[in-house]
Structure 1
Amino acid sequence: MSIYFLINCIIVFVCLLYSTITDIKKREVSNYITIGLLVYGTIANAIYFFLIKGYLSTIYFLMFDALVFLICYLLWKLGIFAGGDAKLFSGIAATIPILSQSIFFMGWSGFPFILSLFILSILAMFPIVSVKLLFVYFKRANIKEKVVSSLRKNFAGFVFNILYVVSLFFVFSFFTLPFWIFLIISIFLGFVSKRIRYPLSVVIFVVAVIINPSSTISVMLLSIVIALFIALMINLFVLSKSGIFNYKKRVADLMEGDLLAHNLIQDNKKLIPLKFDFWLHLKIAFKQSLKKGIKPIFELLEKRKHLYREIVINNTLAAGVSKKEISQIKKRYFEKEIELKETTPLVPSILLAYVVLIVFGDVVWLLVSLI
């Protein structure tokens, strides 16, 4: 690893570490960090490419730098990225355009470094969000009751499904039958009535225990524990989408980047939240269409079109509210508090992904090339 590349890696790491702390504490990423990183990376690499590889490589780098900046800007405008996250990605791309080697491994990557970082950052969100959801789960009694109730209601079917899949796998392994047949039968049994599937699961389990008792029981118990954890996380994710993790904040304390739980529409001269769950209404409309034809769906689409035409502030995506929108809310939203979405900062995920890539190399490219 060259000294120049190592210096850039350290600079990006320090910037990410500081930004992670501010993102967690204050939910903001400093412009001094992001813009400073962007300016430094652009100037330093333009000089480096010109001196080492010539003017043509410099032009290619500047074109790449501008393209990444434009893409990040568009993602911010679409509400997919918050402003600080978009500028941070642009700065990292300018400072480390290509990952040619890592601390422990050397190897070529077919991806631009920023693409691998983006993909791995999204993947790194899942364990971070999972930990956060588990923390909220143990902290809030009302959420705990809902999740436990849901798991209890589906527990029997859940265990029987694991029972027949694991048992069937051992039976097929013993008779060395093709895996695709196992998949087809497993899927087919999933659609069979419970009255048939449950007794059949027990029979297959008994056969599997006779064939390989220790492995069948140990794998089944492990599968149940893992599957219960996955089911818990799915329930928490579903609840998070339903708005149970939303919270209220004083309008006077609103900050740039805060994420509204609902779009705001105009009602005379004031702003009110648009509490309209389109997907829930669509589900109801589909059920009604079975009896009344397609008319309920068209009526719903027309209602949605009319309501969304009235939207004044549409900031329920990652970008959050701007200073201009906050000013408008303070003037025209007459409630003392406004409902916001509970969000998870992205910068810690970027830091985690960055460390993995710098230490172990481009694991994303490695996985893609293996596929």
Structure 2
Amino acid sequence: MFIYATIIISIIGLIIATYTDLKERIVTNKLNFTLAGIGILIYLTQSIIEQTPIPLILSILGLIIGFSFGWIMWKLGVFAGGDVKLFMALGALNPLTPALIKTTIFTNSTMQIFPITLFLYSLIGFIPYGIIVVTYKLKKNKQYRKKLKQEMKKRIIDGAKIAILISALSIIFEQIQITQIAILPTLIIFGIIPKHKKIIGAIIAITGIIISPTGILQKTTTTFVFIVFIYGTIKLMLSLRPLLETTVKIKDLKEGMIPTKTLYYEKGKVKEHNFTIKGIFEEAKKNKLNALKPKNIIISSTKARGLIESEIKELKKLLKAKKIGETIKIKDSMPFVPTMLIGYILCIILGDFWILFW
């Protein structure tokens, strides 16, 4: 009875939080503290009825663990303040991971790791949610959609060429009894060859076809589907970055906005850094990563909490001193609370995340 009550209240609370997060980009303290209070009250009632303090103790522990985990995520820049309090409230309502579907594989957990389980399931829930948001933005931008289609055509052709090359190498190595692991270093060598790539690639492909026409067709089809899915998805998401950015004047900045680039001080000057793998490698080559210490950073593009009041004031000072431009690019970030709702539903169905691997 009590577990059903907490689950229903948690879902209602998450639906309300999702609505306010999507509409106003905020989760109110009133909602968070109300949910936490209801959680404590429910387990207090259970303790009184069952004449044992354990339910109440577990609820308080859940609240503490939920807040602690949320606070750590906030310090790491993953959560905003409202997310921390919502995690705290859900911890009070769900001291143990709720599971309604019980089988020999999926059972109720006896470990107090609900906040971690919810977070992991929320990350899983972020995938379909993110695809929906990106698809919606892409649908609204016809010009960019047309450009993207042209880019993807080229990438699909490139993927087909790579698939044929990998399949041919696989067949050739099988014929001369060389391990398939050798395909990777061979591809790397092929990639750094300065000249005659087309001729060498054609020779490899023709050799594979001569050895096994049927085999190369089967291998190419399988490899092509895999490459296009992985390579195409990654490239698609990278190409969509401009759709998820907005140019904002410094004077119009608000708390919570997330910049697309990190600004930092280096020898009295303001520098910018793009936290991509390529950007990090470039900075490492120049031995400039030391400049990215916390004390040198003005604003960070990696913190989900976004800009805070002191950082906005610092940017306005820098603008006044003409050390930065009048505008800055801001990420059109996606609210995290809707993914919490998806993650919570997965918690109900599956139980603790770790059980999936036991």
TM-score interval, smaller chain: 0.7 to 0.9
Whole-angstrom CA distance in 1 between matches of 2:51 and 2:168: 61
Deviations 1:108-165 (A, max 9, x none): 336533322211111222232233334444526358637844762x555421332355
Check if 1:119 corresponds to 2:120: yes
Q: Which amino acid aligns with 2:235?
A: N
Q: Which amino acid aligns with 2:246?
A: Y
Going from structure 1 to structure 2, the CA distance change for 1:210 and 1:222 (only over 3 Å counts) comes to closer
Q: Give matches, 1:263-342, under 5 Å.
A: 263=262, 274-277=271-274, 283-284=281-282, 296-297=286-287, 300-301=288-289, 304=292, 309=295, 311-314=297-300, 316-323=302-309, 325-326=311-312, 333-334=319-320, 337-342=327-332
| Larger displacement relative to structure 2 (164-173 or 313-322) | 164-173
Check if 1:93 corresponds to 2:95: no
Whole-angstrom CA distance in 1 between matches of 2:129 and 2:118: 16
Q: Secondary structure at the match of 1:102?
A: coil
Report the equivalent of 2:350. 361
Whole-angstrom CA distance in 2 between matches of 1:199 and 1:212: 14
| Larger displacement relative to structure 2 (110-119 or 319-328) | 319-328
- With the length of structure 1 as denominator, give the TM-score of the two structures: 0.72
Check if 1:200 corresponds to 2:208: no
Q: Secondary structure at the match of 1:5?
A: helix
Count how many residue pairs are aligned between Structure 1 and Structure 2: 339
Q: Which amino acid aligns with 1:123?
A: I
Contact 2:168–2:216, Cα closer than 8 Å, also in 1: no
Check if 1:350 corresponds to 2:350: no
| Larger displacement relative to structure 2 (248-257 or 87-96) | 248-257
Deviations 1:273-297 (A, max 9, x none): 742347666644666xxxxxxxx52
Contact 1:259–1:319, Cα closer than 8 Å, also in 2: yes
Q: Which amino acid aligns with 2:181?
A: I
State percent identity of aligned pairs. Answer: 22
Going from structure 1 to structure 2, the CA distance change for 1:57 and 1:282 (only over 3 Å counts) comes to closer
Check if 1:235 corresponds to 2:235: yes
Aligned residue among 16, 19, 33 for 2:31:
33
Whole-angstrom CA distance in 2 between matches of 1:123 and 1:109: 20
RMSD, aligned α-carbons:
4.2
Shift of 1:319: 0.7
Task: List runs of 5+ in structure 2 lacking aligned partners.
Answer: 191-196
Going from structure 1 to structure 2, the CA distance change for 1:332 and 1:276 (only over 3 Å counts) comes to closer
Whole-angstrom CA distance in 2 between matches of 1:101 and 1:282: 42
Report the equivalent of 1:257. 256
| Larger displacement relative to structure 2 (39-48 or 13-22) | 39-48
Q: Which amino acid aligns with 1:21?
A: Y
Contact 1:264–1:273, Cα closer than 8 Å, also in 2: yes
Q: Which amino acid aligns with 2:42?
A: A
Q: Secondary structure at the match of 1:275?
A: strand
Contact 1:262–1:273, Cα closer than 8 Å, also in 2: no
Contact 1:147–1:235, Cα closer than 8 Å, also in 2: no
Shift of 1:184: 1.6
Q: Secondary structure at the match of 2:163?
A: helix
Aligned residue among 5, 8, 14 for 1:7:
5
Whole-angstrom CA distance in 1 between matches of 2:132 and 2:225: 17
Contact 1:49–1:55, Cα closer than 8 Å, also in 2: yes
Report the equivalent of 1:291. none
Q: Secondary structure at the match of 1:117?
A: helix
Report the equivalent of 1:224. 224
Report the equivalent of 1:79. 77
Contact 1:264–1:311, Cα closer than 8 Å, also in 2: yes
Q: Which amino acid aligns with 1:162?
A: A
Whole-angstrom CA distance in 1 between matches of 2:134 and 2:100: 33
Shift of 1:94: 1.5
Going from structure 1 to structure 2, the CA distance change for 1:263 and 1:160 (only over 3 Å counts) comes to closer
Q: Which amino acid aligns with 1:34?
A: N
Shift of 1:99: 3.1
- With the length of structure 2 as denominator, give the TM-score of the two structures: 0.74
Going from structure 1 to structure 2, the CA distance change for 1:55 and 1:160 (only over 3 Å counts) comes to same
Contact 1:109–1:365, Cα closer than 8 Å, also in 2: no
Which portions of structure 1, spanning 4 or more consecutive aligned residues, are displaced by more than 6 angstroms?
167-173
